[in-house]
Structures are given as structure tokens and as C-alpha cells.
Amino acid sequence: MSINNIETVTNNLNLTYKTEKKCLKVYTLGCFEVVLDGKVLSNDCKRSQQVWNLFKYTLTYRNKRIIQENFFDVLWNDKECDNPVKALQNLVYRLRMLLDYKGVNKDGESVINYSQGCYSWNKESYYWTDIDEFEDLYEKAKVYEENDDFLKAIDLLKQALMLYKGDYLCEDSYNEWVMPIRNYYHRIYMDVIANLIKLLKQYKRNKDILKVCEEALIIQPFEEKIHLPYIEALIEEGNMVQAQKQYEYVTSMLYEEMGVKPSSDLRKLYRKIKCNDKKVLVDLSSFQKIMVDSRESDGAYFCEPDTFVSVYKLECHRAVRTKQIIFMGLFTINRVKNRGQDNKVMRNGIGSLLNVLIQDLREGDVVTE
């Protein structure tokens, strides 16, 4: 699609929305909310939970015709229902009354249609959804980028991010029917962030990158793909202290919460932080003071795997010169077969083993994990 076509479609859409008196607005990215004429209809979710579950499912699969049996599984699942057909008809009636009498429907048609044993969303209804707008902005931004209008693409991608306030229908996270759609929009969200950061890098707008990442990490704190450009931007800004703090924070969080060790990309950034560290040792006495202060405790020295490899290579060279023998041991903790230990149990076991090694080995020994 050309840029001119995009502008024409956008203008037509804007004209349509402006001329219609009533438009149902549905927010699904983050907290679920249905708004009409400034009034939040979905505030009554608890009393009409099944009605809104019907609404969510129909809206989610608005491009399909839905058989009754699908609604039975979604609305009642394993719960007993004497007459699910009648119960479904009652819910549809209540939803139509809630929306239709407020003028959402067009030409007397219902917001939910029924034909040949299937229900479907009436696309002729006057409605707007954040997911449609979000995806539309994403697609438009790609077209502008392809046409080398990078500033316009940046603006559209920023607008898309403003719409994404959380995962799709996050309050329904345990419903299986939500997962494919949630994953779909989450993938687009990550693409939006990646594309926006890529374009901002072209203009060396590091402060904008930091803001994008900070806002994204509130929503997705465990996404390493967001932490990486955040640390990179801090390095580009020369803020090595904050970059190292962020590295230590993310590596600790990922390990404690998910049992994940630093990736190779994160370790590369750590080495970059150290290479760009501009602290200068003024004289020998300053160096000696730092070395003395860095002794955390008696026992073995704990370090990162990369540092351990460097120490080992150094000891190998020393051993060649001094003819001394060096020893390296490997300790492994495995899950007991047919025992369902979770990650927390495994992490506690590894932590206990590390503490024993650090405390019982000599000061000249080195330990890593």
C-alpha cells in the first residue's frame, strides 16, 4: 500500500468516526473496558460476568462464525448447566439489550448476529477497538519505513506503544482461548519496540530509547530483549555506573525469578561496560586501597564465569613457570528422577552448595557457577 492510499483511508476513517454520534470503544490491551458516550459500561463486570465473557469471546473471534458448542466450553467449561442452549440465548439477549438499546447497532441490526446455527460479531456496528488501532498503526509504520520516511514511522510506532498498556485481556490470563490472541499481539508489541529502537538509533536518540525501554519494562519486566537496548543506551550516554547497576539488577532478577543465567549478549554488554569504565587509578596507594576494600570476606573468591576462565588461564601460565599443579573441580546438582522439584528448590540447592564452597575453600581459591 502506498503512503497516499494510507492517507486516504485514514481520512475516510476519521470522517466516519466524527460523523457518527455514538461509537462503542473497547479497550483490551491491559484492563478490559467498554465505553460508550463517556460512560464505562463494563464497570458492572462482577454482576454480569458471563455477559462480558460472551462479549470478550465474540469480539476476540469477530472474524469468525462461532458455533454454540464453542460458547458452552468457554462460558461453562466443567460447570454444570442444565440447558446450555437456553442459557446462551439468555446471555445473548442480555448483551443485546445492554448494547443495542444504546444505539450501537446499525439499521436495526443487533451487535451480535445469529444465522444457521452460528453467532458472529456484527462488523457494521459502530465500534472502535484498541487492538485494531494498534495493529493498524504498526502496519502503517512499516509502510512509511519502507518509503524511507523514518520520522513518520517513529511517530506512528510511538502512538502504537501508547495504546499497549498490558497484555491482551490480562485478567483472563488462565483462559486457554485467550492465549493465541495474546501471544499474537505480544509479538507485534515486541516488533514495535524493536523497530522503534532501531529507528531511534539511526538518529542517536539515546534518551528516547531509554524512555521507551523504561515504559516497556513496567509492562514486561522479564523481557531481556528490552533490557539489552536499555543498557546499550546507558553505555552510549556514558552512564557506566547505571549501566552496571542495570546489568546486575536484570541478571539477578532473571536468575531468582526464572532460574536463567546471563545470556551471551548480556555478558558482552558487561565486558563493554568494563572496557568503557573511565575510572582512573591515580597512584599505587589508591590501587592498593581499592584492592583491600574489595575483599568481601574470608574464604574462596566468587566471580562470573568469564572471569573464572581468565583466572584459570592465568593459573595455567603460572603453573608452567612454577611447575606447580593446579586443580579444578566440577560439582553438579541434578533433579532426582520421578521427583518434581521446581526451579526454586534447585536454586536453593545451588545457593547452599556455593555458600559451603566459598566458606570452606581457601582464600586463594576461585569459585563460579
CA 266 to CA 251: how far, in whole Å?
A: 8
pLDDT value for 138 = 98
Q: What is the pLDDT of residues 166-212, one digit of tens each?
A: 999 999 988 899 999 999 999 999 999 999 999 999 999 999 999 99
pLDDT higher than 60, residue 25: yes
Report which of residues 87 and 13 the model is more confident about. Answer: 87
DSSP character at residue 366: E
The answer on 349 and 255 residing in a single domain is: no
Domain count of the fold of the chain: 3
Q: Are residues 41 and 186 in the same domain?
A: yes
Q: What is the pLDDT of residue 16?
A: 40
Residues 72 and 84 sit within 8 Å (Cβ to Cβ):
yes
Minimum mean pLDDT range among 98-112, 145-159, 195-209, 316-330: 98-112
Same domain as 212, residue 180: no
- Asked, for residue 343, whether it belongs to a domain, the answer is yes
Q: Which residues contact 221 (CB under 8 A, 6 or more apart)?
A: 253
Last residue of one domain, picked from the residues 202, 218, 252? 202
Residues 121 and 90 in one domain: yes
The pLDDT value recorded for residue 281 is: 43
Q: Which region among 103-107, 220-224, 228-232, 286-290 has the lowest average model confidence (pLDDT)?
A: 286-290
pLDDT digits (tens, 9 = 90+) for 298-336: 677 777 777 777 777 777 877 777 777 777 777 777 766
- pLDDT above 80 (res 12): no
Residues 271 and 331 both lie in one domain: no
3-state secondary structure of 34: strand
CA separation for the pair 135, 113 (Å, rounded): 25
- Say if residue 50 is in the same domain as residue 166: yes
% of residues, the chain, pLDDT over 90? 46
pLDDT at 88: 93
Residues 105 and 230 in one domain: no
Q: Which band of pLDDT confidence, cut at 50, 70 and 90, is reported for residue 13? A: very low
Task: Kindly report the average pLDDT of the chain as a whole number.
Answer: 82
The pLDDT-based confidence of 105 (bands split at 50, 70, 90) is low
- Identify the three-state secondary structure at position 18: helix
Say if residue 182 is in the same domain as residue 224: no
223 versus 348: the higher-pLDDT residue is 223
- Any idea what the Cα angle at residue 129 is, between residues 111 and 150, rounded to 5°? 150
Which pLDDT belongs to residue 198? 98
Is residue 8 domain-shared with residue 143, that is, in the same domain?
yes
CATH number, domain of 14, equals 1.10.10.10
68-74 mean pLDDT: 91
Q: Which domain holds residue 90?
A: 1-202
Please report the pLDDT score of residue 358 as a whole number. 74
CA torsion angle 58 64 67 68 (round to 10): 10
Q: Is residue 287 in some structural domain?
A: no
pLDDT for 333 equals 72
Q: Evaluate if residue 54 carries a pLDDT over 90.
A: yes
